Amino acid sequence: MRKLTVSASRTYDIIIGSDLLDSAGALSAKVISPCRTVIISDDTVAALYSERLIVSLKAAGYTPELFIIPHGEESKSAESYIRILNFLADMQLSRSDCIFALGGGVVGDLAGFVATTYLRGIRFIQIPTTLLSMVDSSVGGKTAINLGAGKNLAGAFYQPSLVICDYSTLATLPDETFSDGCAEVIKYGIINDKPLFEKLKNPILPQIEDIIENCVRNKRDIVNKDERDNGVRQLLNLGHTAGHAVEKCSDFEISHGSAVAIGTVLITRAAASLGYCTADDVQQTEEIFKAYNLPTKCPFDAKSLASVAQGDKKRAGAKINLVIPFGIGSCKLVPTPVEELEAIFSKGL
């Protein structure tokens, strides 16, 4: 079992290990005294793991209730958000109580935004069950729901009280969902961790605990420097400006991890065309994504992508900070006029 500590507006631990669900109650009781709690999960994850979590929480003295949403990106919506708020209000959950988020990125983002806003803030604990949520979305305090115009456009920064990464849950992931998480792992290697990138040329599962810890440490260090996403934390958006546009253009038929892979390859190709990185960097980037069964070709044109990307939440006035690879393990933020996005995306296509 590994433990890392985030020192942001709230200091909390991230615990990484196998078969932690059965001790989740005892681990949680060390940071939040047993109380009434609501477990928010989706129908797929709840069927697999909610009973184990409920048993563990009850054994530690908690009184848990379960709220289940349909799986999929469509549930990260204003409608789901309001339904959960009304459920908590009907239960008369108080500020001394808490929420558990049991699931992947959709559940974590949604439950976190509920926790942020219910009674102006209620404590919550993240129990991510996908690789993507373990290495990325459960850490750092970003919470959000989607709007019709795009992803994560309504949200807040709100740190959890604890993150429990039980990587034994990865055994039940579909291959496509596991590959989605690998896209975010690869992203860290390209941003600032070439040794991690090299590790990924070997099978990931035999080194999964090291890989998760490596990624979480990378994100922890960045969040500690820039919790509110005003500077260096924006590097974590590598591939996301084009990637979020890919998701939106596909009506979310293309998953987040696949979209990030497409977006990362696109921006790396564009960077090479502009002279920032080399053709070898492009080749290595394409090869690593293909090795993890992730797409590298974009099915949409530059004009469609740019139209969506202009509404990206990272936009500041007439410019947007693009994360540009200058080589494997070295990325920089490049302020870019939004009217240049179509031309840059064209180079990447």
DSSP letter at 97 equals S
Return left, alpha or beta for 323; rule: phi > 0 is left, psi -120 to 50 is alpha, else beta.
beta
Helical segments of the chain, H only: 24-29, 43-45, 51-59, 78-91, 105-117, 131-132, 175-192, 194-199, 208-225, 240-249, 256-273, 279-291, 302-309, 341-348
What pTM value is reported for the model? 0.94
pLDDT tens, N- to C-terminus, the chain (349 residues): 999 999 999 999 999 999 999 999 999 999 999 999 999 999 999 999 999 999 999 999 999 999 999 999 999 999 999 999 999 999 999 999 999 999 999 999 999 999 999 999 999 999 999 999 999 999 999 999 999 888 899 999 999 999 999 999 999 999 999 999 999 999 999 999 999 999 999 999 999 999 999 999 999 999 999 999 999 999 999 999 999 999 999 999 999 999 999 999 999 999 999 999 999 999 999 999 999 999 999 999 999 999 999 877 667 778 999 999 999 999 999 999 999 999 999 999 9
Taking the C-alpha atoms of residue 216 and residue 87, their distance in angstroms, rounded to an integer, is: 32
The string of DSSP codes covering 183-243 is HHHHHHHHHH-HHHHHHTTS-SGGGHHHHHHHHHHHHHHHHHH-TTSSSGGGGGGTTHHHH
Please give the single-letter amino acid code of residue 249.
Answer: C
Task: Report pLDDT for 150.
Answer: 84
Tally of CB atoms within 10 A around 89: 11
Task: Report pLDDT for 313.
Answer: 64
Task: Report pLDDT for 310.
Answer: 87
DSSP letter at 73 equals G
Taking the C-alpha atoms of residue 160 and residue 162, their distance in angstroms, rounded to an integer, is: 6
Q: What is the Cα Rg of the chain in Å?
A: 19
Q: Domains of the chain, with CATH numbers?
A: 2-172 (3.40.50.1970), 175-348 (1.20.1090.10)
